[in-house]
Amino acid sequence: MRMLARFLTLLLFLTSLSASASLLSQQGKAVRYMQTTEDAVIWAQVGNHVVSVGNVRAGQILAVVPTAADYYEFRFGFGTGFIDKGHLEPVQGKQRVEDRLGDLNKPLSNQNLLTWKDTPLYDAPSVSSAPFGTLANNLRYPILSKLKDRLNQTWFQIRIGDRLAWVSSLDAQEDHGIPVLTYHHILRDEENTRFRHTSTTTSVRAFTNQMTWLRDQGYTTLTLYQLEGYVRNKINLPARAVAITFDDGLKSVNRYAYPVLKQYGFHATAFIISSRIKRHPQKWDPKSLQFMSISELRQIQDVFDIQSHTHFLHRVDAAGGQFYSVAITIIFCLISPARAGR
């Protein structure tokens, strides 16, 4: 019950923070080195949730920042980690963090690793070295550098709590990017007589099967703001993450894609051609390309983030980039008037 109370305190504390804010840099508190007295679970915000992200073995040294709550903060990936104060004590004797080559101050390599299982961390690039702890399953974590040992095995060097740790490439995978699934038009097979051989048209069955697979595999759907935060090294995201987008603003998105996404608790982004927004909903006609109305766009906002796909799509004249800002203003005024003035 004591740990549960502390975790609830942590959750309440995090709700007051912006998604990308770093507490360590925001508050400018002095960092101190502490030593774990026992194996300790560590927590961090990953995506929208505070989750257990691994553990640190007894006797390890971490650089932490004191807080008024029952936990310390430390640097974890692109964000802030948390560890119960009861697991730490001042460093004993003259123990210090080993960093003879200055690796802790190296810039990130713009490469990340993925964990598909609970992944062991080592004090050195060798399985015979002392265990540092573990990274939990389903994480993305920044890599400082890579090296190959005498057996030609690759090791990833990472930084956690201002400590260096090593991950074997046999236990983790390099991150080759977050997939972005792009759709346009969705139709049932039996009604698709005109767009059957159009590459931008997806059947309801295929779309549902794809979303079901993502749900069954435990994927999280991202907003493009989250994707940007990750690319800019500001937030932590899970390994099983995907972004879903729809171009143009077709009526079939409201009719077929929206219910499936809502059923699975997924989120997506709709890029709308603002000149094609209808004042009132049209009667459904699968033989023509119909576009969503103002009310239909408002209806899907609990699942979709509405963004601009310009006002006249690819028509550009001497005005150039003016189309983009005009389109954003038009969409925000129609769909969410409160956002238009931002």
Give the closest residue to 277 by CA, choosing from 219, 332, 319.
332
* Average pLDDT, integer, range 235-254: 95
Q: For residue range 169-219, what is the model confidence (pLDDT) as tens digits? A: 999 999 999 999 999 999 999 999 898 888 899 999 999 999 999 999 999
Of the ranges 112-116, 127-131, 229-233, 309-313, which one carries the lowest mean pLDDT score? 309-313
Strand pairing category for 61-64 and 49-56: unpaired
Largest CA distance in the chain: 78
DSSP string, 221-247: EE-HHHHHHHHTT-S---SSEEEEEEE
Which amino acid is located at 54 in the chain?
A: G
Beta strand ranges found along 105-162 (DSSP E)? 111-115, 119-122, 131-135, 139-143, 145-148, 154-160
- What local confidence, expressed as pLDDT, does residue 102 receive? 73
Cα distances (Å, whole numbers) of residue 322 to 245, 325, 329: 24, 6, 11
Residues whose CB is less than 8 angstroms from the CB of residue 310 and which lie 6 or more positions away in sequence, other chains included: 273, 274, 323, 324, 327
Sequence-distant (6+) residues with CB within 8 A of 291 are 248, 249, 250, 251, 273, 276, 277, 278, 282
Give mean pLDDT, residues 81-106: 80
The token pair at 180 is 């972005």
> In terms of DSSP H, where are the helices of the chain?
2-14, 23-27, 204-216, 224-231, 251-252, 258-263, 294-299, 322-335
Judged against a pLDDT cut of 90, whether residue 141 lies above it is answered with yes
* CA dihedral sign, ordered 258, 263, 266, 267: positive
Is the pLDDT score of 18 beyond 60? no
Here the tokens at position 36 are: 């774990």
Asked if residue 123 has pLDDT above 70, the reply is yes
Q: How confident is the model at residue 308 (pLDDT cuts 50, 70, 90)?
A: confident
Name the residue among 311, 314, 186, 172 with its Cα closest to residue 244: 186
For the ranges 12-26, 47-61, 99-113, 238-252, the lowest mean pLDDT is seen at 12-26
Domains assigned to the chain:
2-174 (no CATH), 180-339 (3.20.20.370)
Residue 109 has a pLDDT of: 78
Q: What is the DSSP string of 88-104?
A: EEEPPTT-----TT-GG
Q: How far apart are the first and last CA of the chain?
A: 44
Closest CA to 134 of 211, 53, 21, 219: 53
Distance of CA 224 to the CA centre of its chain: 9
Please report the pLDDT score of residue 103 as a whole number.
Answer: 72
